[in-house]
Structure 1
């Protein structure tokens, strides 16, 4: 048995996920257990990180609650490693930066970052890949190794038809 979705239907799902993600409330990032418990569950999802109102990172995870903890630790997440190096000139010794850089990173997270997310179990990699491809010039994500070719003319047509 073969199951095929038309390209247009696939793009509708990508566009819907994008619209829901960017219409979700921006939550001020906090590095606390109380914050994680208040907003996140042990569910899969897609998330976008903003520096104030500017998108800077897009990610996917099988566990939003755990990812929000991991992302605040240099040893656990490439986003924090990249920010430490690019914004603060950090040079990692072992798996962390010097204490001064780690302190600047903590302050940056506390003062500058916001996050939106949607819970989604199936198709996270495809949605993340699409969003990284679309917003590549605005975000710090590296391009995905598994590159899909997107038909942006068809996506533009689909976007006109979707209003949420």
Structure 2
């Protein structure tokens, strides 16, 4: 890749990262009313926090629908990952046993926050970059797309 093109790509990724992490942080709720008041049907990159700790990065073509999916075990890997990692739930394509579902609901209600930005084009690339950059603290499953990033150059550009 030409250096100029690489620099321009990294600038786009950095801009999206800065916009995401400076967007309003909203307490996530599992209700339809909350989704309708705080979200719309937009394509987006989103970050989920356990209180102040970043734990998940995702992308979607419809943020309102995705936040509905994320609260149901049968619909989204995020809730399955939480149930498995934090509450020793047995992974399956169905719900966890009732005791774990109750713990998951309480965990969602007590600790989760979301930040998001609208992104119409390049969501997958931004998501891949952010997952790679923050992989040590995320519960995301590894992505199949393996991209190599020049973090020395990214760090220089980040501080420009």
TM over 0.5: yes
> Is residue 129 from structure 1 mapped to residue 115 from structure 2 by the alignment?
no
Task: Evaluate the alpha carbon distance shift between residue 79 and residue 94 of structure 1 in structure 2; reply closer, same or farther with a 3 A threshold.
Answer: closer
Which protein has the bigger helix share?
2
CA distance in 1, matches of 2:159, 2:99: 48
Structure 2 CA distance for aligned equivalents of residues 142 and 108 of structure 1: 20
Q: How do 1:74-85 residues align onto structure 2 when only pairs under 5 Å count?
A: 74-85=73-84
Give runs of ≥4 in structure 1 deviating > 3 Å.
none
Figure out how many residues of one structure are paired with residues of the other and give that number: 157
Question: TM-score, normalised to structure 2's length?
Answer: 0.95
Q: Does 1:159 align with 2:145?
A: no
Query: Residue by residue, what CA displacement relative to the aligned partner does 1:81-109 show, whole Å, maximum 9, x if unpaired?
Result: 01001111112566110111101100000
The one-character-per-residue Cα deviations of 1:67-92 (angstroms, maximum 9, x if unpaired) are 00000000010010010011111125
Q: Which 5+ residue runs of structure 1 have no aligned equivalent?
A: none
Query: Aligned with 1:6: secondary structure?
Result: helix
Root-mean-square deviation (CA, aligned residues, Å) is 1.1
8 Å Cα contact 1:92/1:98 also seen in 2: no
Cα offset, 1:58, TM superposition:
0.3
Partner of 1:57: 56
Say yes or no: does 1:16 pair with 2:43.
no
Structure 2 segments unaligned to the other structure (5+ residues): none
